[in-house]
Amino acid sequence: MKKKIHIIGAGLAGLSAAVSAKKRNINYELYEASKNAGGRCRSFFDKKIGLEIDNGNHLVFSANNSFFNFCQTVGSLKTLKILPSNLNFFDIKKKEKWEFGFEKKIKEIINNYPIPNTSFFDYLSVLKFIFVTRRSTVFDLVGDSNIYKEFWEPLTLAVMNTSPKFASAQILSNVLKVTFFRGRKHCLIYQPKENWGKTLIEPAISFIQKKRINFNESLKRIHFKDGNISELVFTKRVIKIKSSDRIIFAIPPTNLNKLFPEFKLPSNYNTILNVHFKLSKKDIYLFDKKIIGFINTKSHWMFVKNQYISITISDANKFNSMDSKEIANIIWKEMCEYVKKKINYKSFQIVREKKATYIQSPKNIEMITNFKKKRFPYVFAGDWTQNRLPCTIEASILSGKKAIEDLV
């Protein structure tokens, strides 16, 4: 009997599994609950601002090899642009701007430390991430550092969507070890020339062939026989599973818990909020850097796109029920402060990803580590399964590839 792999979920993890299966000439089929692929990394045409936008801003470091290999396989490297490793910041309270990264020569950095009013010793706090215990949070390590507010907090929020007070220091340490500790070449920033849909999702769908994805097929129940899955019950039909078939669940913990309530998985999540402002061409040019970190503001990171700017707020549960217009007003004021001018936007859109990532605390990481020690007659993929990495594009792509490797 020819083995068939049933992949549940067509987010990046599911797509990556399908891409790997196709490369190995394995028979596969995908089932996706919604009418589109991409999950938490999707692009769509937004009627309100009349543009195709990403649900949220995604930043990828050049250290992310699985991401790079995926783009190479699906033929989308040409849709990427590479930005320098420098991160630009603006402190609204102190009205100060600075640049942090590897583009400057060491001599320049030593003569002029990037963050105003800091000394050489402040930057040594990075050494605390060399040896980290499983239970420490980022705050435990660098909460008392002079560059906590200006560097450690925005970095942790961007990488882990979790406040440093709760974020696992081990995960941030793993990220620093493959990026900052290895130098400029590994800290360049990948952005899509247009949007992530055109770079990741559409090329992946073309590569695996659209007909292999069954859209609007939500897996509702699973039937077992003799300890093995015998039937997958979707909204519209029931699929019988042969003994040679294999199943990959490429869905987040909350969705998995609906199918397997007995699994002990993280259940607390953080929102990521994105505010997209459409601007005139002339006003877009007022934003002189492509990506800006905001300090002492509600805004965290601002990305300049072709016809709009997009602001990300991580760990944003407190905005879940706030009125959209009110949020837009608060954020827009901060943008005007940056350009030192009162300008108007043409229109705005707010995207609240209420379950953007689970809270990446030491306790939740341990829960996943324990879960992964168990043996199952099926395989899991998804950003959350890579418990040495933060929940990212890299983690989800890597998880899909590993899921196929586990099955062959």
Nearest-angstrom CA–CA distance, 354 and 274: 11
CB of 154 to ligand FAD, least distance (A): 13
User: In terms of CB distance, is 269 or 338 closer to ligand FAD?
Assistant: 269
Structure tokens at 112: 């002029």
* Residue matched to tokens 């991409």: 38
Contact flag: residue 146 with ligand FAD (CB under 6 A): no
Contact flag: residue 11 with ligand FAD (CB under 6 A): yes
Among 8, 87, 138, 368, binds ligand FAD (CB under 6 A): 8
Residue among 365, 292, 366, 305 nearest 331 (CA):
292
Among 6, 9, 26, 86, binds ligand FAD (CB under 6 A): 9
Contact flag: residue 393 with ligand FAD (CB under 6 A): yes
Contact flag: residue 87 with ligand FAD (CB under 6 A): no
Nearest-angstrom CA–CA distance, 407 and 251: 17
User: In terms of CB distance, is 10 or 295 closer to ligand FAD?
Assistant: 10
User: In terms of CB distance, is 6 or 278 closer to ligand FAD?
Assistant: 6
Among 19, 53, 187, 272, binds ligand FAD (CB under 6 A): 272
Nearest-angstrom CA–CA distance, 367 and 384: 11
User: In terms of CB distance, is 283 or 382 closer to ligand FAD?
Assistant: 382
Nearest-angstrom CA–CA distance, 119 and 9: 49
Options 18-26, 58-66, 78-86, 182-190: segment touching ligand FAD (CB under 6 A):
58-66
Contact flag: residue 396 with ligand FAD (CB under 6 A): yes
In this structure, how many other beta carbons lie within 10 angstroms of the beta carbon of residue 1? 7
Residue nearest to ligand FAD (CB): 11
Footprint on residues 304-363 left by ligand FAD (CB under 6 A): 353, 356
Among 28, 31, 70, 129, binds ligand FAD (CB under 6 A): 31
Q: Do the Cβ atoms of 158 and 60 come closer than 8 Å? A: no
Q: Specify the DSSP element, H or E, that contains 258.
A: helix 253-259
Output helix, strand, coil percentages for the chain, rounded to the nearest 5. 35, 25, 40
Which regions of 116-261 does DSSP assign to beta strands (E)? 189-192, 213-214, 219-225, 228-234, 238-240, 246-249
Structure tokens at 367: 């829960």
Among 13, 18, 87, 365, binds ligand FAD (CB under 6 A): 13
CB of 252 to ligand FAD, least distance (A): 5
Among 5, 7, 60, 157, binds ligand FAD (CB under 6 A): 60
User: In terms of CB distance, is 171 or 272 closer to ligand FAD?
Assistant: 272
User: In terms of CB distance, is 283 or 391 closer to ligand FAD?
Assistant: 391
User: In terms of CB distance, is 9 or 164 closer to ligand FAD?
Assistant: 9
Nearest-angstrom CA–CA distance, 199 and 191: 9
User: In terms of CB distance, is 60 or 241 closer to ligand FAD?
Assistant: 60
Nearest-angstrom CA–CA distance, 264 and 33: 23
Nearest-angstrom CA–CA distance, 160 and 381: 19
Q: Do the Cβ atoms of 17 and 7 come closer than 8 Å? A: yes
Site string for ligand FAD, 179-218 (x = CB under 6 A): ---------------------------------------x
Sheet holding 60-61, edge to edge: 60-61, 189-192, 80-83
Among 5, 17, 19, 41, binds ligand FAD (CB under 6 A): 41
- Kindly give the residue spans of alpha helices, DSSP state H, lying in 119-249: 120-123, 138-142, 153-160, 169-178, 196, 202-208
In this structure, how many other beta carbons lie within 10 angstroms of the beta carbon of residue 376? 12
Options 29-37, 72-80, 97-105, 318-326: segment touching ligand FAD (CB under 6 A):
29-37
Contact flag: residue 391 with ligand FAD (CB under 6 A): yes
Contacts of 78 (CB under 8 A, 6+ apart): none
Among 345, 383, 401, 403, binds ligand FAD (CB under 6 A): 383
Structure tokens at 263: 């699994």
Among 10, 115, 279, 304, binds ligand FAD (CB under 6 A): 10
**Residues contributing to the site for ligand FAD (CB under 6 A):** 8-14, 31-34, 39-41, 55-56, 58-60, 218-219, 250-252, 255, 272, 274, 353, 356, 382-383, 391-394, 396
